[in-house]
Amino acid sequence: METRKTVWKWVWVWNFDKEEDWLNAMAMNGWTLDSVGFCVYHFVRTEPGEYNVRLEMRKYDPEYISFMQETGAEYIGRMMMWIYFRKRADEGNFDLFSDLDSKINHLNKIARVLTVIGCMNLFIGIFNSLSGLRLAWINLCCATLLMYALGRIQGKEEALKKERSLRE
């Protein structure tokens, strides 16, 4: 019986919640995330539903990782600014964001990063275009894609704000 599995998969930044759902569906099928890299996920065979997996965009912070480990969560790894944790399902509910405001704050963090990187690509693309460099279109395409991602993230944020106003 196979005990390890590697899956190559591309996930857009605005689909981080779908990525988390997919990772938890894999865990429900007995494949729990063990390590992560660029577009590659390494799984280990476990009991179906034994673990829950969560991810968050966050700067590297050893104190935060230690705090999470004190709560029973296992640090799986990082991929760029994304950090991955897993926790045994029998240890209770495992959420990184306890309420709508913390989810909205997380989306704001993602939006800030996308804005900075998108504006940098736009600036570089325009500068390169004015300088006559032929590959300037690459930066302009990246800026367009990042601004699209920003729009998707802001759409999720607006939906959460609407949900919050309905609950008040």
Domain ranges of the chain: 4-91, 100-167
Q: Where are the alpha helices (DSSP H) in the chain?
A: 16-28, 62-70, 100-130, 136-167
What integer pLDDT is reported at residue 32 of this predicted model?
Answer: 97
- Residues of the chain with pLDDT below 70 are none
Which of 115, 122, 26 minimizes the C-alpha distance to 76? 26
pLDDT (0 to 100) of residue 83 = 97
In tens, the pLDDT along 47-71 reads: 999 999 999 999 989 999 999 999 9
Cα–Cα dist 139/137, whole Å: 5
The DSSP letter of residue 61 is: -
